[in-house]
Amino acid sequence: MTISAAACPSGDERVTLFALLLDTNARLSRTLGVALEESCQLPLAWFEVLLQLRRSPEGILTMSQIADAIVHSTGGTTRLVDRIEAADYIERRTCPSDRRAVNVGITALGNAKLDEALSAHLSFLDVHVSNRLSDQERKQLAALLEKLSVD
Protein backbone atom coordinates (compact mmCIF):
# COMPACT_ATOMS: atom_id res chain seq x y z
CA MET A 1 0.00 0.00 0.00
CA THR A 2 1.36 3.35 -1.04
CA ILE A 3 0.77 6.34 1.20
CA SER A 4 0.16 9.57 -0.66
CA ALA A 5 2.24 12.62 0.12
CA ALA A 6 -0.87 14.35 1.39
CA ALA A 7 -1.61 11.54 3.81
CA CYS A 8 1.98 11.31 4.99
CA PRO A 9 3.40 14.83 5.08
CA SER A 10 6.40 13.71 7.10
CA GLY A 11 7.55 12.07 3.88
CA ASP A 12 7.09 15.26 1.89
CA GLU A 13 10.18 16.04 -0.14
CA ARG A 14 10.40 19.55 1.31
CA VAL A 15 10.11 18.29 4.87
CA THR A 16 13.01 15.97 4.17
CA LEU A 17 15.02 18.74 2.60
CA PHE A 18 14.46 21.03 5.56
CA ALA A 19 15.37 18.30 8.01
CA LEU A 20 18.53 17.70 6.02
CA LEU A 21 19.40 21.37 6.27
CA LEU A 22 18.93 21.36 10.04
CA ASP A 23 20.91 18.17 10.42
CA THR A 24 23.80 19.19 8.20
CA ASN A 25 24.11 22.49 9.96
CA ALA A 26 23.96 20.94 13.42
CA ARG A 27 26.63 18.36 12.67
CA LEU A 28 29.00 20.75 10.96
CA SER A 29 28.55 23.35 13.69
CA ARG A 30 29.22 20.83 16.38
CA THR A 31 32.34 19.54 14.65
CA LEU A 32 33.63 23.04 14.06
CA GLY A 33 32.86 24.03 17.64
CA VAL A 34 34.88 21.12 19.01
CA ALA A 35 37.76 21.86 16.63
CA LEU A 36 37.90 25.54 17.59
CA GLU A 37 37.63 24.75 21.27
CA GLU A 38 40.42 22.21 21.09
CA SER A 39 42.82 24.17 18.91
CA CYS A 40 42.18 27.72 20.17
CA GLN A 41 40.01 27.49 23.30
CA LEU A 42 37.57 29.70 21.42
CA PRO A 43 33.82 29.00 21.62
CA LEU A 44 32.10 28.98 18.25
CA ALA A 45 29.83 31.86 19.29
CA TRP A 46 32.88 33.99 20.09
CA PHE A 47 34.38 33.13 16.73
CA GLU A 48 31.21 34.20 14.99
CA VAL A 49 31.30 37.59 16.71
CA LEU A 50 34.97 38.18 15.92
CA LEU A 51 34.42 37.16 12.31
CA GLN A 52 31.49 39.52 11.89
CA LEU A 53 33.57 42.35 13.32
CA ARG A 54 36.42 41.71 10.91
CA ARG A 55 34.00 41.60 8.03
CA SER A 56 32.36 44.89 8.82
CA PRO A 57 33.78 47.84 6.86
CA GLU A 58 35.01 49.80 9.90
CA GLY A 59 35.78 46.78 12.06
CA ILE A 60 33.05 48.05 14.36
CA LEU A 61 29.46 47.00 14.94
CA THR A 62 26.76 48.04 17.38
CA MET A 63 25.19 45.55 19.75
CA SER A 64 22.08 45.36 17.57
CA GLN A 65 24.10 44.73 14.46
CA ILE A 66 25.95 41.92 16.17
CA ALA A 67 22.70 40.44 17.48
CA ASP A 68 21.25 40.46 13.99
CA ALA A 69 24.39 39.13 12.34
CA ILE A 70 24.66 36.12 14.60
CA VAL A 71 20.90 35.67 15.04
CA HIS A 72 20.72 36.08 18.81
CA SER A 73 18.38 38.11 20.98
CA THR A 74 19.75 41.46 22.14
CA GLY A 75 19.72 40.18 25.70
CA GLY A 76 21.76 37.15 24.80
CA THR A 77 24.15 39.32 22.82
CA THR A 78 24.75 41.61 25.79
CA ARG A 79 25.94 38.67 27.88
CA LEU A 80 27.92 37.12 25.04
CA VAL A 81 29.71 40.42 24.43
CA ASP A 82 30.29 40.69 28.20
CA ARG A 83 32.16 37.40 28.17
CA ILE A 84 34.22 38.11 25.06
CA GLU A 85 35.07 41.54 26.40
CA ALA A 86 36.15 40.04 29.73
CA ALA A 87 38.62 37.94 27.72
CA ASP A 88 39.93 41.16 26.11
CA TYR A 89 39.14 40.07 22.58
CA ILE A 90 36.75 42.94 21.98
CA GLU A 91 35.91 46.25 23.64
CA ARG A 92 32.86 48.42 23.99
CA ARG A 93 33.23 51.99 22.75
CA THR A 94 30.93 54.96 22.84
CA CYS A 95 29.03 55.66 19.66
CA PRO A 96 29.53 59.34 18.78
CA SER A 97 26.37 59.70 16.74
CA ASP A 98 23.88 57.92 19.01
CA ARG A 99 24.20 57.78 22.75
CA ARG A 100 21.84 54.82 23.00
CA ALA A 101 24.12 52.67 20.89
CA VAL A 102 27.29 50.88 21.93
CA ASN A 103 30.02 50.27 19.41
CA VAL A 104 32.00 47.08 19.69
CA GLY A 105 35.49 46.80 18.24
CA ILE A 106 38.04 44.03 18.12
CA THR A 107 41.26 44.34 20.14
CA ALA A 108 44.78 43.39 19.09
CA LEU A 109 44.47 40.25 21.19
CA GLY A 110 41.15 39.49 19.54
CA ASN A 111 42.65 39.93 16.10
CA ALA A 112 45.45 37.53 16.92
CA LYS A 113 43.00 34.99 18.29
CA LEU A 114 40.80 35.36 15.25
CA ASP A 115 43.75 34.69 12.96
CA GLU A 116 44.49 31.56 14.93
CA ALA A 117 40.87 30.48 14.75
CA LEU A 118 40.62 31.20 11.05
CA SER A 119 43.55 28.95 10.40
CA ALA A 120 41.80 26.13 12.25
CA HIS A 121 38.59 26.98 10.42
CA LEU A 122 40.30 26.72 7.05
CA SER A 123 41.58 23.27 7.96
CA PHE A 124 38.07 22.32 8.95
CA LEU A 125 36.72 23.64 5.67
CA ASP A 126 39.31 21.68 3.72
CA VAL A 127 38.17 18.44 5.26
CA HIS A 128 34.46 19.05 5.46
CA VAL A 129 33.74 21.26 2.48
CA SER A 130 36.49 21.38 -0.12
CA ASN A 131 36.93 17.63 -0.09
CA ARG A 132 33.27 17.12 -0.70
CA LEU A 133 32.18 19.84 -3.07
CA SER A 134 33.84 21.08 -6.24
CA ASP A 135 34.31 24.78 -6.93
CA GLN A 136 31.20 24.77 -9.03
CA GLU A 137 29.17 22.91 -6.46
CA ARG A 138 30.18 25.40 -3.78
CA LYS A 139 29.06 28.26 -6.01
CA GLN A 140 25.76 26.46 -6.60
CA LEU A 141 25.24 25.91 -2.91
CA ALA A 142 25.98 29.53 -2.11
CA ALA A 143 23.48 30.66 -4.73
CA LEU A 144 20.78 28.36 -3.40
CA LEU A 145 21.34 29.40 0.21
CA GLU A 146 21.22 33.04 -0.85
CA LYS A 147 17.76 32.48 -2.25
CA LEU A 148 16.65 30.96 1.04
CA SER A 149 18.12 33.87 3.00
CA VAL A 150 15.95 36.58 1.56
CA ASP A 151 13.76 38.01 4.29
Binding mask of the shown chain, residues 78 to 107, with x at each position contacting a second copy by CB under 8 A: ------------------------------
Nearer Cβ to DNA, position 1 or 71?
71
Nearer Cβ to DNA, position 28 or 138?
28
Q: Are 46 and 127 in contact (CB under 8 A)?
A: no
The footprint of DNA on residues 44-83 (CB under 7 A) is: 45, 62-65, 67, 71-83
Q: Are 104 and 91 in contact (CB under 8 A)?
A: yes
Which burial class, exposed, middle or buried, applies to 83 when counting CB atoms under 10 A from its CB (0-12, 13-18, 19+)? middle
Please state, in angstroms and rounded to a whole number, the distance separating the CA atoms of residues 142 and 115.
24
Nearer Cβ to a second copy, position 11 or 64?
11
Binding flag, residue 35, DNA (CB under 7 A): no
Smallest gap from Cβ 93 to a second copy, in A, equals 21
Binding flag, residue 98, DNA (CB under 7 A): yes
DSSP states along 120-146: HHHHHHIIIIITTS-HHHHHHHHHHHH
